Amino acid sequence: MSQTPHAESRASQAAPVSEPGADARRGVGIAHAKAILFGEHAVVYGAPAIAIPVDSLTAEAIIEAGPPGLGIASSLYTGPVDGAPARLAPVVTAIKASLERAGLAGLAHETEGGAVVTITSSIPHERGLGSSAAVAAAIARAAFDLAGTELDSETLFDLIQTSERVAHGKPSGIDARTVAATGAIRFNRGAVAPIHIGAPLILAFADTGHPGSTAQAVGSVQALREREPEATDALLSRLAEIAEHSIADLASGDRTAVGAAMSEAHSILHRVGVSSERLDAIVAAACAAGAAGAKLTGGGLGGCVIAVADSDAHADEIGAAMRLAGAERTWTVEVPAA
């Protein structure tokens, strides 16, 4: 069933839920998902990418101080931090690093009491929506909220990246920036600039139900580039051009142009080998249902599709078509004019 995002503001997600120090025994943090509109894979080679926050999908962390011992409570694992499975290594890293940076090293090392970190998230795992980065951001905000200490944007970025390096090896930083962003951004070589959105952009999202693998996809493009350097570089350069040119289309509110750019970008991503039969089928179904354009978002080889709709009702129709084409679930995201 299609899901429309709730009305929770981005500003409320960017700040601690409670006033610093309001409850010395409890800290709360929230962060949202992200999606890349343009620039996947080209961004790995220093090209620009355009990304948006997805407010309707969130991760929340609650850190409650208590008896000695550091624990995790989540849908994936509940128990002592030291017994967490390998897949939660980024989360464990985020917890310990955040507690230490917030001045709560005693909790991190269980020398001054302990804590339980409860994590809840509506962001699908391994779908290119920034799940690991959002969880790390939520944990960092909860730790600083518990400490009653202000968390500045660069410290937040550093803490997310510390966790992301465990999750992805050499993250570009786009996830870390976008899950903390209050609007659409242009990301290039670590630098971030806000993007003007001239008219609301309504997107139908589809989850293929298959996990994507950023590392595998990046490796695949790298291997193709080594075999066919000129052809691959030309395709990556075109992805960069599409991303750069989309800024003017987004500013003017030209949905037709944005959609056409998405479809061209998806075609290129298919050619560099990071699409899949299911992704291609869902993109085709969206376009057949009248979407102005559609593409995979994120690393590819699974994950999600985004499609440009004319209205919320149209997004529902596109979502229904994408589910018939194999999508596990769909929902609607509006990028507001800003």
As annotated, the active-site residues are 175
Q: Give me the helices (H) in the chain, please.
A: 10-14, 89-101, 105-108, 131-147, 153-168, 174-178, 214-227, 229-252, 255-271, 277-288, 312-324
Distance, in Å, from the CA atom of 182 to the CA atom of 108, rounded to the nearest integer, reads 30
Give the other-Cβ count within 10 Å of 258's Cβ: 21
Count CA atoms closer than 13 A to 22's CA, side-chain side.
Answer: 9
Q: What single DSSP character describes residue 124?
A: P
Distance, in Å, from the CA atom of 186 to the CA atom of 294, rounded to the nearest integer, reads 20
Count CA atoms closer than 13 A to 179's CA, side-chain side.
Answer: 33
Q: What single DSSP character describes residue 19?
A: -
Count CA atoms closer than 13 A to 246's CA, side-chain side.
Answer: 28
Read out DSSP for 172-215?
-SHHHHHTT-SS-EEEETTEEEE---SS-EEEEEEE-SS---HH
- Indicate the pairing of strand 294-297 with strand 191-194: unpaired
Give the other-Cβ count within 10 Å of 275's Cβ: 22
What are 305's strand-pairing partners? 206, 296
Distance, in Å, from the CA atom of 319 to the CA atom of 205, rounded to the nearest integer, reads 7
Does residue 145 contact residue 17 with C-beta atoms inside 8 Å? yes
